[in-house]
Structure 1
Amino acid sequence: MRIEVNGRCHEQEPRPGQCLRTYLREHGWFGVKKGCDAGDCGACTVHVDGEPVHSCLYPAFRADGRTVTTVEGLASPDGELHPVQRKFLDAQGFQCGFCTAGFLMTTAALTDDQLADLPRAFKGNLCRCTGYRAIEDAVRGVRHVEEPSAGESVGRNLPAPAGPQVVTGTARYTFDVDVPGLLHMKLLRSPHAHARITSIDTSAALRVPGVHAVFTHHDAPERHYSTARHEHPEEDPADTRLLDDTVRHIGQRVAAVVADSEAAAEEGCRRITVVYDIAPAVLDPEEAMRPGAPVVHDKDPSAARISRPQANVVGEAHGEIGDVEAGFAEADAVHEETFRTQRVQHASLETHGAVAWLDEDGRLTVRTSSQTPFLTRRALCALFDLPSERVRVVAGRVGGGFGGKQEMLVEDIVALAVLRLGRPVKLEYTRAEQFHGATTRHPFTVRVKAGARRDGTLTALQLRVVSNTGAYGNHGPAVMFHSVGESTAMYRAPHKKVDAYSVYTHTVPAGAFRGYGLGQVLFAVESALDELARQLCLDPVDFKARNIIGPGEPMLTPGGHEEDLHIASYGFDQCVAVVRRAQAEPGEPPPDGWLVGEGAALAMIATGPPGGHIADARAALLADGGFGLAVGTAEFGNGTTTVHRQIAAGELATTVDRITVRQSDTDVVRHDTGAFASTGTVVAGKATLRAARALADLLLDFAAAHLRVARADCRLADEAVLHPGGRLPLKELYAAARAVGIECAADGHFGGTPRSVAFNSQWFRVAVDPGTGEIRILRSVHAADAGRVMNPMQCRGQVEGGVAQALGATLFENVRLDARGEVETAAFRRYRLPQYADIPRTEVHFTETTDAIGPLGAKSMSESPFNPVAPALANALRDATGIRFTELPLTRDRVWRALDASRRTPRPPVSP
């Protein structure tokens, strides 16, 4: 066997049945990624004799005598980047970067004819982050990045610091490490939605050659906890045990097998004999709340933090402002409707996983794909009775998150195995496990009732919300509370009422997802208000603009006013103006016979969670005159690393390339709650700002004392301290400080409060084929109030990616369950992710605002673009067809059936 890979010869025989992807990775070519193992995503694309192939489907033995090129081999032997790599850098055609190697390898092999038809050329490649516009720009040679310059960093299109590593395949994600003596873990999962394990026999599994251990509920700590990660653990129900003797959904882990290889561990799982006492299951949340329904968690409500366990209600919210019945009596028109949203998978291309070991001091070290390394360390310490100094958690570059990695789904079981065996252990989810063993977006049922006077003044708004949290309540109460927060606060109405329930069922658990419940409720509210405006013969945008909360007004929800939440900058009016301009401009003509419509929606979101979100940062002068910046925030395409460098560079009067960042490691700073809830810029960025300012002050103070000049006469510039007598290079300043025992470093801290809000609007013009139900987006326009935009290129990418992901959830994504509660769509080819051909280019407009709370006037813009997309598209569909669609996704067959029914049913007359 002889395979030439990037000019190197490999002669090791592949294992029977081994694919080329695993063969290459075992030889250190980590640029080849695992995204699906089914040929669906293209992250593993390599060239074999110059032809692109999905290496997860290509048998390794077929490469015998062939030349294989991975992304690491695209550059020339002297290190000069391939033209395609340079284009992706210039356009910043990536975010998390996990799919980038695959796109590079596909693009590098395209002919001129194929370049002219990118929708077809990229059928085999998926991206979950970018929305594809940046990828197209990269392929077309569009340059977006600017060159760095000292003191002029914020507000410029500066590149991501890891960009060169991303395009060369040397960026290190969770499993891109070689750990000697590594053991592999596989999980046995439940085939039943609800059952008690009466016996479990592992003896046959232990006899499988290579199996080292099998762990069951007998080996698990008795403690209950939540897989959700929040700064305050008491926000979530303590309903989860590491391995339980009761299973509550199909796919729940039952046992863990640790072996020398994945194959041996899988065989060990097949040899385990489990006897189940099967119990009745409930799959529907409304049924789950009825008397006599099977109880999902029969636990003490105060100890487990469950609202009403016997009714399967994990959390609930009830409140009223004014008197809604009186408000509806005052109204000239009232609209009431029920809306439903479906389960959606995060579908980050890097699956959940962790590898852990004991270091030379016996300290547990966990390398994981996590948005919350510090909170995960805290949870592991509590679970295993370990002091914090005995546990280190570190995240490499994370291949997408979207809230799905704000969980502890793998680290606990891996840590158990390492602590018991004293050997390194790895657990990496398959794509199927992502669907039935991770989490989804919460399905919602929302009943909206809204009333208004003839002049368009809202009189009352009432919501009844039921959220299906699945078998476990991780994030369930918090998502439910958040969903009815800003969605009701953004509109001015004297009478408001909310009744909301987060409900257990025997289904795959839901969890944190981009928007955190707001997208589901805003789909209902924005659709209902659009319909109410039509009843009153008013323009829906004018109607909403009349009732939107204004600057300086209190944000009132039926749950009460949050004292730390403020409108610290106001861009709603500018967002509405963008929509009105789009409405006034001529549109692309639709195909003959197609129906055309326009629709818009508005959204508001808090830039951070209630109850505190803590971040620490540390800035230091280095011996070479550069700077080191340590932050706890993980990088998963959110762009926080770029922004943190820009903030620090501005304060330290240097260029971003002279700032080295260490991040997402519990050893580098005191604490960081995590990269979620839109806090990477507004919370961790503020900690970075304070650390950099403190360091600048420290350097100037020391320089003034050292030079014996006035402090006011010193300033940082050109990698030196400028003073009346000339310049003191920072390298010399460092040496002088160290000589007298002064450490040139400073810390920054921000506690995440007060909080501000961000605003967004989305507008679509669509065409609908009445014969097939196909929806074609003719134009997509998004306005975003992000305060002072730190990096327009990067922020635009966040908006485009959010719109694209939301379009997938709006048009076709749906985690379907069968009658038993088993996931039917546990593969990308059965779960319809947006491809390049599905996503229109979205015009992104930023408002001109400066926030009084965020760092240097910035606000968040990672989650919020997702939220107005579904209602805007539904409103455009209503305008085109005259039909109000109340359930997502808006699939072609669903649209066709509604159109067909409307053709056979006469429409009622429109009210005057």
Structure 2
Amino acid sequence: MSVTVNGRPYDEKPRPGQCLRTHLRDLGHYGVKKGCDAGDCGACTVHVDGMPVHSCVYPAVRAQGHEVTTIEGLAPEGGLHKIQQRFLDAQGFQCGFCTAGFVMTTAALDERQLDDLPRAFKGNLCRCTGYRAISDAVCGVKHTEDAAVGGNAPAPAGPQVVTGAARYTFDLDVPGLLHLKVLRSPHAHARIVRIDTSAATNVPGVHAVLTHEDAPRARFSTGRHERPQDDPLDTRVLDDVVRFRGQRVAAVVAESEGAAEEACRRIVVEYDVRPAVFDAEEALQPGAPVLHPDKGPGDGIARAEGNVAGEVHGEIGDVAAGLAEADEVFAGTFVTQRVQHASLETHGSMAWFDDAGRLVVRSSSQVPFLTRRALCALFDLPLDQVRVVTGRVGGGFGGKQEMLAEDLVALAALTVKRPVKYEYTRSEQFEAATTRHPFTVGVRLGAKKDGTLTAIDLRVVSNTGAYGNHGPGVLFHACGESMAVYRCANKKVEGYAVYTNTLPSGAFRGYGLGQVLFALESAIDELARTLGLDPVAFRARNAIRVGEPLVTPAGQEADISVASSGLDQCLAILDEARRDPAPEAPDGWLVGDGSAIAMIATTPPNGHYADAKLTLLPDGRYELLVGTAEFGNGSTTVHQQIVAETLGTTTDRVTVRQSDTDLVGHDTGAFGSTGTTVAGNAVLAASRVLRDRLLAAAAARAETPVAACRLDADAVLAGATRIPLKDLVEAAGAPFTADGHFDGTPRSVAFNAHWFRVAVDPGTGEIRILRSVHAADAGRVMNPMQCRGQIEGGVAQALGATLYEKVRLDADGAVVNPTFRTYHLPAFADVPKTEVHFVRDVHDPVGPLGAKSMSESPFNPVAPALANAVRDATGVRFTELPLARDVVWQTLVHARGA
């Protein structure tokens, strides 16, 4: 077989049945990505004779005699195609995993198709951007500029992203690489009686079959926090008890994926099937099947005998009295569903041994340092014998704050003493990775006629699934800022994170706040209506103010006070937007608007740490070393800008190396909205130390006071003397270096508010968004282009969770929609434009240079704002998500009594 790829002929014959995507990657064209292997996401798009195709469903043999072009060959060598340049200028990407597919699709469009982008991009998905940045790129809008803090500095990896040169987890050729596949449980709850691996080991190419007999007996949590005890220690690498459909039973290591899969099919397992429970409320009842009877408080589990992974109970004031003194009381129960993170790069890791014999794990992880710590504990290895490195990560959203692949790939590598790769399939991502916690929230609110809140009472039940990773933390966080955003003398909460025989829940953007806020903000809106008060004014009257503490009976936020707030500006922005004339809606449709607010405290309450190291190199450029992973969160760009701002240079003179446990002492990880506020503060500390050293060195050399010195882009101006930075390094005989550290306290508080105007078709249940407005208090906005992108992406993701996304389980706990084709992910045509507004003149004293976080929080007010708009339009209060068209229609029909 002969195929020409990017102008070069190849004679390598594909494997029988091999698709073009894997064949091209075998040839070293790593710009061709795997997002679905089903033709649904477009990440693998290439051109065959100039026509775009999804290479994951295109047989490799069909490419014989044809010209194949990948993202790497789209432009002449050393240059950029005009579409690549547009994506670079507009920064039409965040994590960038989908970008090659979008660029290749766009490059093949004619002028007619460019006028209908929703149709043109029906085969391409992006989970990060919300699509506006992609639309800007296609239309030739330019946003990027070389700027320090406050400007639209471009992502340092931008040129690599748009050309396919950026290296994600598996974009690496490791000689002698073996492949790992997993046999998963067909039962929701069972004890493994016997495993017969003899037939599996006889499959040609198989090197090992691993079962619970080969795994460490130590228990851990897949959830990663600075303090391991923050999550229940209830998980084993391979266990002899399975607690959900899809749990690992055995792992096969083989020369090829095909051999490993065949061996998995030949493993014979005898199970003792046990009773299972799938509903969280049922799991709380006496007599329910107990998932972890052999564990207890010493393992971080609140009440294992009652299936309670974590619980919170507290009261401030007297809620009964507060409800009694209220003129109006609202009571209701709200339900939210499982949502998949759906990052286009699935979970996965590779492990090998370096020349010094150290175990090296390359992983798609938000927490490389915490993963190293966990691996060392599991396998009894010293820290200096394990290195964890993260390439560019293809999306995370909290889902990669877990250790879901690294432990198994490490076990395999330590067993066979060969490099091993373990990459989740898309169906495994749905069936065996984590989801957002489903919540049931009962809420009672009381208020006086003048709009003063008298009582807030919550009963919160979250379904943590078979394991408690993040269960207690999500529960506490969900009940914290959601209640604290409102001033009220009487507050009470009763909360439970409950084990069930379903796939585990985990960290997800917003960390529980979105679920509880759907209930609380819907209740606030309903209570305002009952009182005859304006909902926006009602929120403004009761919202927390600058200098006030975050008062919550959950007990974990009492040490935080609001150091700065732009919430009043956020509400004013919404108030102005809703006074504009209503966009036209189709005849017969019902029109309404609704709003909601949210507050988030950055970083976990029990510690978040970051180290940074900054060096002035002999060539006069700077090198910054940080531990924080880049997965579209934009932290790398912000860190560059902080250095540039502090040292009076430009961002292009700052090189960033990151996400490698060999680089710096420690970094808790890129979660909790800490990339800017914690790691950024560490970078700022290192920058200031280095600045002072450079000024002192220049002052001594020029014999002038330090106060008379200032940094220029590549020199120090010492009085009338200009000393090039390179000369300072040469005179010192060594590079200038500085270390920075930050411990994440005190904690910064950010605010968001959203407003929708919607039209609802009572005949079909369709909800059409006529206008979407988001107001954000991000303090000093470090990079408006990036921050706007974070908000647009968060809103788009929240719209999916509000309107249609749902991981569906059958009666036995199995996921029934484990593909993008059956799980409705927002596509280009689904996401309306959101108008993004930043508050002005808010300078936070906690964040670096006045900045706050803005990565997770835009998600949180979207669902209640949209539900409130639908309530305004239809007169019906919807209390369960998603607001699917058929559900809306049926509910409206029932409300009309038809």
TM-score tier (shorter): over 0.9
**Structure 1 residue ranges without an equivalent (≥5):** 906-912
Deviation at 1:182, TM superposition (A): 0.3
Answer yes or no: is 1:697 the counterpart of 2:696.
no
Amino acid at match of 1:735: E
Q: Does residue 763 of structure 2 align to residue 771 of structure 1? A: yes
Task: State the one-letter code of the partner of 1:877.
Answer: V
Matched to 2:186, the amino acid is: P
Q: CA deviation at 1:851?
A: 0.2
User: Within 1, Cα distance between the matches of 2:262 and 2:722?
Assistant: 69
Q: Which among 311, 318, 338 is matched to residue 316 of structure 1?
A: 311
Within the candidate set 886, 894, 898, 2:891 is matched to 898
Counterpart in 2 of 1:4?
4
Match in the other structure for 1:799: 791
Check conservation: 1:174, 1:398, Cα contact below 8 A.
Answer: yes
Residue 105 of structure 2 corresponds to 106
Task: Quote the residue 2:28 is aligned against.
Answer: 28
Whether 1:281 and 2:254 are equivalent positions in the alignment is no
Aligned match of 2:399:
404
CA distance in 2, matches of 1:735, 1:297: 63
Aligned to 1:661, the other structure's residue is in SS state strand
> 2:854 is aligned with what amino acid?
M
CA contact (8 A) 1:598 1:875 kept: yes
Correspondent of 1:578 among 573, 577, 581:
573
Instruction: Tell whether 2:859 aligns with 1:860.
Output: no
Contact 1:24 1:32 in 2 (8 A): yes
Conservation of the 8 A alpha-carbon contact between 2:790 and 2:854:
yes
For residues 500 and 520 of structure 2, what CA distance do their matches in structure 1 show?
25
The question of whether the paired residues in 2 share the 8 Å contact of 1:357 and 1:425 is answered with yes
Unaligned runs of 5+ in 2: none
* Alpha-carbon separation, structure 1, partners of 2:692 and 2:535: 52
Q: Distance in 2 between matches of 1:443 and 1:22?
A: 36
Q: Give the conservation status (yes or no) of the 8 Å contact 1:555–1:561.
A: no
Match of 2:363 in 1: 368
Give 1:532 shift.
Answer: 0.7
Assess if the C-alpha contact under 8 Å between 1:615 and 1:684 holds in 2.
yes
- Give the match's secondary structure for 1:896: helix
The partner residue of 1:655 within 647, 650, 661 is 650
1:869 aligns with 2:862: yes
Provide the residue aligned with 1:223 in structure 2. Answer: 218
Aligned partners of 1:449 and 1:685: how far apart in 2?
Answer: 40
Farther off after superposition, 726-735 or 884-893:
726-735
Take 1:655 and 1:460, find their aligned partners in 2: how far apart are those partners? Answer: 52
Instruction: Give runs of aligned pairs for residues 441-520 of structure 1, distance below 5 A.
Output: 441-520=436-515
Q: Is the Cα–Cα contact under 8 Å of residues 796 and 831 in structure 2 kept in the other structure?
A: yes
Please state whether the residue corresponding to 1:681 is helix, strand or coil: helix
Secondary structure of the structure 1 residue equivalent to 2:574 = helix
Aligned to 1:92: 91
Deviation at 1:712, TM superposition (A): 2.3
Normalising by structure 2, what TM-score?
0.99
Q: Distance in 1 between matches of 2:475 and 2:556?
A: 16
Q: Which amino acid aligns with 1:189?
A: R
Q: Distance in 1 between matches of 2:564 and 2:402?
A: 32
Match for residue 677 of structure 2 among 674, 682, 685: 682
Query: 1:725: how far off?
Result: 4.5
SS at match of 2:600: strand
Deviation at 1:706, TM superposition (A): 3.3
Counterpart in the other structure of 2:823: 831
Q: 2:516 pairs with 493, 499, 521, which one?
A: 521
CA-CA distance at 1:497 after TM superposition: 0.6
Structure 2: how far apart are the matches of 1:808 and 1:609? Answer: 26
Q: Distance in 1 between matches of 2:427 and 2:784?
A: 36
Q: Could you say which residue in structure 2 is the equivalent of 1:46?
A: 46
Q: Which amino acid aligns with 1:118?
A: L
Partner of 1:813: 805
Question: Are 2:32 and 2:46, in contact at CA under 8 Å, matched by a contact in 1?
Answer: yes
Offset of residue 743 of structure 1 = 4.3
8 Å CA contact retained: 1:343, 1:440: yes
Whichever residue aligns with residue 181 of structure 2, its letter is K
- For residues 25 and 152 of structure 2, the distance between their equivalents in structure 1, rounded to whole angstroms, comes to 34
1:117-161 superposed Cα distances (whole Å, 9 cap, x missing partner):
11110000000000000000101111111234xxxx100011000
Q: Tell me the residue number matched to 2:706.
A: 711
Letter aligned with residue 859 of structure 2: F
What is aligned with 1:909? none
Give, in whole Å, the separation in 1 of the partners of 2:777 and 2:420. 45
Deviation per CA, 1:454-475, whole angstroms, max 9, x where unpaired?
1111111100000000000000
Q: How does 1:59-74 map to 2 (within 5 A)?
A: 59-74=59-74
User: Corresponding residue for 1:127?
Assistant: 126
Which stretch of the first structure deviates more once superposed, 561-570 or 378-387? 561-570
Whole-Å Cα distance in 2 between the matches of residues 658 and 134 of structure 1?
26
Q: Distance in 2 between matches of 1:401 and 1:376?
A: 15
Deviation by residue 1:230-257 (Cα, 9 ceiling, x = unmatched): 0001111000001000000000001010
1:56 aligns with 2:56: yes
**What is the DSSP-based 3-state SS (H/G/I as helix, E as strand, rest coil) of the residue aligned with 2:676?**
coil
1:878 to 871, 877, 884: 871
Say whether the 8 Å CA contact 1:564–1:753 is kept in structure 2: no
Listed as ranges, the matches of 1:587-598 within 5 Å are 587-598=582-593
Q: CA deviation at 1:856?
A: 0.2
Summarize the alignment of residues 314-353 of structure 1 with structure 2, pairs less than 5 Å apart: 314-353=309-348
Q: Are the equivalent residues in 2 in contact too, given 1:554–1:561 (CA < 8 A)?
A: no
The residue aligned with 1:908 is none
CA offsets 1:306-352 (integer angstroms, 9 cap, x no match): 11111000100000111111111101111100000000000000000
| Counterpart residue type for residue 542 of structure 1 | A
Superposed CA offset, 1:4-60 (max 9, x none): 000111111110000000000011100000000000000000000000000000000
**Aligned residue number for residue 750 of structure 2:** 758
Contact kept? 1:653, 1:716, Cα under 8 Å = yes
Structure-1 residue corresponding to 2:625: 630
- Provide the C-alpha distance between the structure 1 equivalents of 2:739 and 2:294, rounded to a whole number of angstroms: 44
Aligned-pair CA distance for 1:549? 1.2
Cα separation, 2, equivalents of 1:788 and 1:146? 18
Identity value in percent: 70
CA contact (8 A) 1:566 1:754 kept: no
Which residue in the other structure is 1:910 paired with? none
Structure 2 CA distance for aligned equivalents of residues 376 and 706 of structure 1: 46
8 Å Cα contact 2:351-2:419 kept in structure 1: yes
Counterparts of 1:704 and 1:477 in 2: how far apart (Å)? 54
Q: By how many angstroms is 1:303 displaced?
A: 2.2
Q: CA deviation at 1:844?
A: 0.2
Equivalent position of 2:416 in the other structure = 421
Helix, strand or coil: the match of 2:727? helix
Distance 2:208 2:816 in 1: 31
Whole-Å separation in 1 of the counterparts to 2:130 and 2:330:
35
Alignment-derived partner of residue 840 in structure 1: 832
> Would you say how many aligned residue pairs link Structure 1 and Structure 2?
897
CA distance in 2, matches of 1:750, 1:541: 37
Within 5 Å, which residues of 2 pair with 1:511-550? Answer: 511-550=506-545
AA in 1 matched with 2:875: G
Counterpart of 1:75, as a letter, is A
Contact 2:525–2:868 (8 Å) recurs in 1:
yes
> Corresponding residue for 1:432?
427
Q: Is the CA contact (8 Å cut-off) linking 1:398 and 1:635 kept in structure 2? A: yes
How far apart, CA to CA, are the structure 2 residues paired with 1:693 and 1:55? Answer: 49
Corresponding residue number in structure 2 for 1:145: 144
Aligned to 1:241: 236
Distance 2:559 2:668 in 1: 18
In 1, are the aligned partners of 2:551 and 2:558 still within 8 Å (CA)? Answer: no
Alpha-carbon shift at residue 175 of structure 1 (Å): 0.3
Q: 1:112 Cα shift?
A: 1.0
Q: CA RMSD for the aligned pairs?
A: 0.9
Secondary structure of the corresponding residue to residue 184 of structure 1: strand
Contact 2:589 2:761 (8 Å CA) reproduced: yes
Question: Which residue is 1:748 aligned to?
Answer: 740
